[in-house]
Chain A
C-alpha cells in the first residue's frame, strides 16, 4: 500500500515536469512497478515504443504501482486534470474507476485493458491470451513426466479461467492422464506468495508450472527445484531460459497503442472493443527453448500457425462443462460472448472456480 503513496508522489513530480507543449498528452496507469519483469514492464516497454514512434508529437506520462480501486481513480483524475488527452488504464480492476473518471472528463479518451465496460469515451482492449495458453498446454502435456501440471492463478475473473481451460484442453489432448493442480493467490503481484505457491505445487508432484501472475518468482522456485519447467507470462522472462523457462506468452501492445493514439491525433477515435490474438500479433509466443524436444516444438509451432491463420480455434467441440453437461458440439466453436464471461471449468478439471 505504501509503495503506491510513494509512487503517487513520484508521479506528481513526473507529471509536473512533463509540461512542454506537444500535440497530444498520453497517460498510462500501471498496477505494478515498471520493472516487474512481466505484465507492467511489457506495457511500459510497448508504451515507450509508441512514444518513440510519435517522437515530439506526443507527451507521455505514466504512473506505476497504482492500486486497483480508489487509488487508481485519484491517479486518473490527476492525469486528466494535468491535461492528458488519452489515458490507458492497464489492469482489469481499473474498470469501475475508469468509467467513473471518464464521466467527469468527457473530452478525455480512455482505453481500459482487459475490461468489459465501455462508454462514449471509453474503449476496451485485450489480447486472446488463451490462444497462447493452448500452445503452453500442448507443451506442458507433452513434457510432464509426473502428469501433474501446476497452475498459479491470480484473481478469479473470466480471463484467468479461460486460460486454465485452454491450457487444460490442449494438455489433455496430447496426454489423457494429465491432471491440473490449481492455486488461487488472489493477487497479480506478490513474489513471495508466487514462490510459495510454486513450491507447494512442486512438492505435490508438479513438474510443469503455468502462471497467470506478474513476476518471475515461480521461475526461481522451479530453478531451485530442478527438473521443473515454466513459461514466461506477459513478458518473455528469457533470463530463466532455456530451462526452467521453455517458452512464453508475450503481450504485444505497441501496434495497438500506435494505432489508437494516431486515431486521437487524427480525430477519428471512437469507442471500440478490441480482442486480438496471435493472428493479429497482439499475442506473441516466445522462443521455444532447446529444453523442449524437437517434435514437441514442431507440433507447438504448427498449432501456433493454425491458430494464427484462423484455421483452428482453441475452444472447439466436442467439449463438456465440468459437471458433464454438453457445451460445444463436435466442430462447434465458442462465441466471444461466452468466452468473455467464462466462469466455469471444462470437464476434467478438479475443484471449483472461486
Chain B
C-alpha cells in the first residue's frame, strides 16, 4: 500500500467534506420529512432546482451566499407543491414525489438555458479563528467554506430538535401515529407541511453546493442521482441524525478516496474501487443497524385524513 503515501491526508479530508456536503444536506432534510411520516421521493428534483436557482442568483447578485438562500427558498417552494398535493389533496406520496423529481429536472433545464458556460463567484474559505491555526489539524478540519460547517451544525441542531425538544417530540409522534397525534390535538397537516418545506430547503442547499462549490458551474442534470443516494442513506441510517452524518461522510469519503487510489496507481482493480462507495456505505450502515429495533416511522408514507 505504498501508493497511499502519495495521497495527502489534509487535501483528502478537504475533498471528502466537499464531496459529502450536498448529500449530507439533502439527507438530513429528508430524514426530518420522513420522521414526520412523509416519504418525499422528490429529493433529486429539489436538489437540481436548488442547483440552478442558486447558480443563477449567485451570478445575478455576484454573491454566492444570496445564491444559497435563494436556492433554499426555491426548493422549499417546490416542496410545498408536493406538500399541498399529498397533505391537502391526499395524493399518493410515491407518485407525487417521483413527479416532483421529473418536474424539477425539466424546470431546471429550462431555467438553466441562459447560464450554460458561465462562471459563478466563488465562496471563499472560512477559517475558524484560532482553531485553524493548529498545525495540520487546523488546516484539515477548520479551514473550509461556510456551508460545510453549516451542514455539520444542522445535524447537531436536527438531533437536538428531534430528541431534546417538545416540538421535535410532536413531529415524531405525528410520524409514528398520526391518528393519535391528531386525537391529542396536534395539527398533523401543519407539522408535516413544515417538515416538507424544511426538507425542501435542505435539498436546495445541497443542490446549490454542487453548482456553486463542488463543480462549480451549471450543467443540465448535474446532480446526477445525488438525491437518490441521500434517500438511500436516510433508510440505511435507520432515521438517526448521527448515522446520516456517518453515511454521507462515508459515501463522500470513499468516493474521493477511490479516485485518489486510482490516481496513485493502487493495485486494487478499478472495478472494485468504483463500487466501493456504495458497498462500504451500505455495509457499514446496515451493520450499525443490525442491533436494536427498526426505527422506521410507523406512519411513513400513509395518507392522513381527520376522519381517520
Chain A residues with CB under 8 Å of chain B are 1-3, 5-6, 9-10, 33, 35-37, 65, 150, 156, 181-187, 189-193, 195-197, 199-201, 203-204, 206, 215-217, 220-221, 223-224, 239, 350-352, 354
B215 contacts A191, C-beta separation under 8 Å: yes
Residue B302, interface by CB 8 Å: no
Interface residues in B1-49 (C-beta closer than 8 Å to A): 6-8, 11-12, 15, 19, 22, 44-45
User: In the assembled complex, which residues on chain B have CB atoms less than 8 Å from the CB atom of A5?
Assistant: 102
B220 contacts A35, C-beta separation under 8 Å: yes
Which B residue sits closest to A34, measured CB to CB?
Answer: B220
How many residue pairs, one in A and one in B, have C-beta atoms under 8 Å apart?
124
B265 contacts A181, C-beta separation under 8 Å: yes
Which B residue sits closest to A239, measured CB to CB?
Answer: B117
A199 contacts B15, C-beta separation under 8 Å: yes
B283 to chain A, nearest CB (A): 20
Extra contacts besides A33-B109, A193-B224, A221-B215 (7): CB < 8 Å: A2-B44, A33-B221, A37-B219, A185-B274, A187-B224, A200-B15, A224-B122
Chain B residues with CB under 8 Å of chain A are 6-8, 11-12, 15, 19, 22, 44-45, 98, 101-102, 105-106, 109, 113, 116-117, 119, 122, 210, 214-217, 219-226, 255-256, 259-260, 262-265, 269-271, 274
B262 contacts A183, C-beta separation under 8 Å: yes
User: In the assembled complex, which residues on chain B have CB atoms less than 8 Å from the CB atom of A199?
Assistant: 15, 256
27 contacts between A and B (CB under 8 A): A1-B225, A2-B44, A3-B220, A3-B221, A6-B102, A6-B106, A33-B221, A35-B113, A36-B219, A65-B220, A65-B221, A183-B262, A184-B274, A185-B259, A185-B274, A189-B224, A192-B22, A203-B7, A203-B11, A203-B260, A204-B6, A204-B8, A204-B260, A215-B219, A239-B117, A239-B119, A351-B262
A37 contacts B269, C-beta separation under 8 Å: no
Contact of A184 among B210, B220, B270 (CB under 8 A): B270
A182 contacts B262, C-beta separation under 8 Å: yes
Which B residue sits closest to A10, measured CB to CB?
Answer: B106
User: In the assembled complex, which residues on chain B have CB atoms less than 8 Å from the CB atom of A156?
Assistant: 270
A192 contacts B226, C-beta separation under 8 Å: yes
Contact of B116 among A37, A183, A201, A206 (CB under 8 A): A37
Alpha-carbon distance between A190 and B210 when the two chains are bound, in angstroms = 11
User: In the assembled complex, which residues on chain A have CB atoms less than 8 Å from the CB atom of B12?
Assistant: 203
B263 contacts A181, C-beta separation under 8 Å: yes
Which A residue sits closest to B8, measured CB to CB?
Answer: A203
User: In the assembled complex, which residues on chain A have CB atoms less than 8 Å from the CB atom of B262?
Assistant: 181-184, 200, 351
- 6 nearest interchain CB pairs? A33-B220, A354-B270, A200-B259, A239-B117, A203-B11, A181-B263
B217 contacts A191, C-beta separation under 8 Å: yes
B116 to chain A, nearest CB (A): 5
Alpha-carbon distance between A124 and B224 when the two chains are bound, in angstroms = 29
Which A residue sits closest to B275, measured CB to CB?
Answer: A186
Alpha-carbon distance between A9 and B259 when the two chains are bound, in angstroms = 35
User: In the assembled complex, which residues on chain A have CB atoms less than 8 Å from the CB atom of B210?
Assistant: 191-192
Which B residue sits closest to A350, measured CB to CB?
Answer: B265
A181 to chain B, nearest CB (A): 4
Which A residue sits closest to B102, measured CB to CB?
Answer: A6
B215 contacts A220, C-beta separation under 8 Å: yes
B220 contacts A220, C-beta separation under 8 Å: no
Which A residue sits closest to B15, measured CB to CB?
Answer: A199
Which A residue sits closest to B11, measured CB to CB?
Answer: A203
A175 to chain B, nearest CB (A): 19
A192 contacts B271, C-beta separation under 8 Å: no
A302 to chain B, nearest CB (A): 31
A205 to chain B, nearest CB (A): 8
Alpha-carbon distance between A235 and B290 when the two chains are bound, in angstroms = 50
Which B residue sits closest to A354, measured CB to CB?
Answer: B270
Alpha-carbon distance between A185 and B277 when the two chains are bound, in angstroms = 12
Alpha-carbon distance between A37 and B274 when the two chains are bound, in angstroms = 26
B143 to chain A, nearest CB (A): 15
Alpha-carbon distance between A175 and B183 when the two chains are bound, in angstroms = 78
Which A residue sits closest to B10, measured CB to CB?
Answer: A203
User: In the assembled complex, which residues on chain B have CB atoms less than 8 Å from the CB atom of A181?
Assistant: 262-265
A351 contacts B221, C-beta separation under 8 Å: no
A169 to chain B, nearest CB (A): 19
Contact of A204 among B221, B264, B269, B274 (CB under 8 A): B264
B267 to chain A, nearest CB (A): 9
User: In the assembled complex, which residues on chain A have CB atoms less than 8 Å from the CB atom of B271?
Assistant: 354
User: In the assembled complex, which residues on chain A have CB atoms less than 8 Å from the CB atom of B6?
Assistant: 204
A196 contacts B255, C-beta separation under 8 Å: yes
User: In the assembled complex, which residues on chain B have CB atoms less than 8 Å from the CB atom of A191?
Assistant: 210, 215, 217, 219, 222, 224
B259 contacts A183, C-beta separation under 8 Å: yes
B113 contacts A2, C-beta separation under 8 Å: no
Which B residue sits closest to A221, measured CB to CB?
Answer: B215
Contact of A2 among B8, B102, B217, B270 (CB under 8 A): B102
Q: Which of A182, A203, A220 has the most CB of B within 10 A?
A: A203
Which A residue sits closest to B210, measured CB to CB?
Answer: A192
User: In the assembled complex, which residues on chain A have CB atoms less than 8 Å from the CB atom of B215?
Assistant: 191-192, 195, 217, 220-221
Q: Which of B122, B223, B259 has the most CB of A within 10 A?
A: B259
User: In the assembled complex, which residues on chain A have CB atoms less than 8 Å from the CB atom of B226?
Assistant: 192
Alpha-carbon distance between A37 and B260 when the two chains are bound, in angstroms = 26
Which A residue sits closest to B259, measured CB to CB?
Answer: A200
B101 to chain A, nearest CB (A): 5
